[in-house]
């Protein structure tokens, strides 16, 4: 043990390690649930909207988990810490489910085409809730960054901040991140009639829309 390491830093390190272990256990449990709940009679194909959504949303969720754990380590504010933990645990659980779907559908976790390709394709006839228009979502191009995804520079800036400044920047990034996640979930609803996909996508839209409003209130209180 480094004799110059402060007790508070050692305690925080143990807390982060324990939180990371909890997230791993949540994801493993959700993976099992995803395998048990994903129907196999007519599994989606490798380039289907369902497979693309499962892969891309895992990546999207992974960054939300990372941002949440960063700010949870850099603030003592109970509201932000609780929000960050809730986002990290819920999105780790959902990522495990989507990993499980792909395994049950006997599809590789790696995509055979650029990210977001599924979101540029036409909605299914009579499916979804008409969130997209035309032949595909013209706001996105296959291979472009996912909507709301923070850049490497933004992630580095978040890691450099502490206290209220970290809270404010986290909330700004996570509001945009959630808005992008809602767009992706709505696109999945427009392009899939698979029950497990629709159930999860609907849950994402509802939960993240509610959290956006809450985060906007938290951010306004810090301005």
Q: What was the pLDDT predicted at 141?
A: 86
Residues 90-107 have pLDDT tens digits of 999 999 999 999 999 999
Classify the C-alpha dihedral 159-157-168-21 as positive or negative: negative
Q: What integer pLDDT is reported at residue 223 of this predicted model?
A: 87
Above 70 in pLDDT, residue 1? no
Instruction: Enter the DSSP assignment of 223.
Output: -
Which pTM value belongs to this model?
Answer: 0.80
Half-sphere exposure in the Cβ direction for 56 (13 Å, CA): 32
Domains of the chain (ranges plus CATH)?
A: 45-121+141-220 (1.20.1260.10)
* pLDDT of residue 109 exceeding 50: yes
Q: How many residues does the chain have?
A: 223
- Contact assessment for residue 145 and residue 176, using Cβ atoms and an 8 Å cutoff: no
Sequence-distant (6+) residues with CB within 8 A of 164 are 75, 77, 222
211 contacts 83 by C-beta, under 8 angstroms: yes
Cα-based distances in Å from 23 to 89, 91, 109:
6, 9, 20
Among residues 87, 16, 42, 15, the alpha carbon closest in space to that of 194 is found at: 42
pLDDT digits (tens, 9 = 90+) for 184-221: 999 999 999 999 999 999 999 999 999 999 999 999 99
pLDDT category, 29, cuts 50, 70, 90?
low
Average pLDDT in the chain? 85
Q: Which of 55, 209, 186, 51 is nearest to 123 (CA)?
A: 186
Query: Token pair 């956006």 is at which residue?
Result: 212
Q: Shortest CA distance to 188 belongs to which of 135, 112, 134, 137?
A: 137
> At residue 168, does pLDDT exceed 80?
yes
For the cut 80, the answer to whether the pLDDT of residue 140 exceeds it is no
Q: Is the pLDDT of residue 82 over 70?
A: yes
Q: Nearest CA to 124 among 115, 132, 112, 116?
A: 132
Name the token pair of 162: 């502490």
Whole-number pLDDT of residue 62: 97
User: For residue 17, what are the contacts with CB-CB under 8 A and spacing of at least 6?
Assistant: none
pLDDT at 2: 47
Instruction: Judge contact between 44 and 105, C-beta under 8 A.
Output: yes
């Amino acid at each position: 043990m480094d004799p110059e390491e402060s007790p508070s830093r050692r305690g925080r390190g143990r807390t982060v390690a324990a939180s990371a272990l909890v997230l791993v256990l949540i994801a493993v449990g959700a993976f099992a649930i995803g395998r048990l709940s994903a129907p196999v009679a007519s599994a989606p194909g490798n380039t289907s909207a369902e497979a693309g959504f499962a892969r891309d949303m895992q990546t999207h969720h992974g960054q939300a988990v990372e941002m949440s754990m960063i700010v949870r380590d850099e603030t003592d504010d109970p509201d932000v810490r609780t929000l960050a933990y809730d986002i990290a645990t819920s999105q780790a659980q959902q990522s495990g489910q989507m990993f499980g779907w792909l395994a049950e559908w006997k599809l590789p976790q790696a995509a055979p085409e650029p990210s977001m390709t599924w979101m540029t394709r036409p909605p299914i006839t009579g499916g979804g809730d008409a969130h997209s228009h035309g032949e595909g979502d013209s706001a996105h191009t296959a291979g472009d960054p996912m909507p709301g995804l923070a850049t490497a520079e933004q992630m580095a800036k978040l890691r450099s901040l502490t206290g209220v400044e970290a809270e404010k920047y986290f909330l700004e990034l996570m509001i945009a991140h959630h808005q992008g996640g809602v767009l992706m979930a709505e696109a999945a609803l427009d392009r899939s009639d698979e029950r497990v996909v629709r159930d999860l996508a609907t849950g994402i839209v509802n939960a993240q829309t509610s959290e956006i409003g809450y985060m906007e209130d938290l951010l306004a209180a810090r301005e």
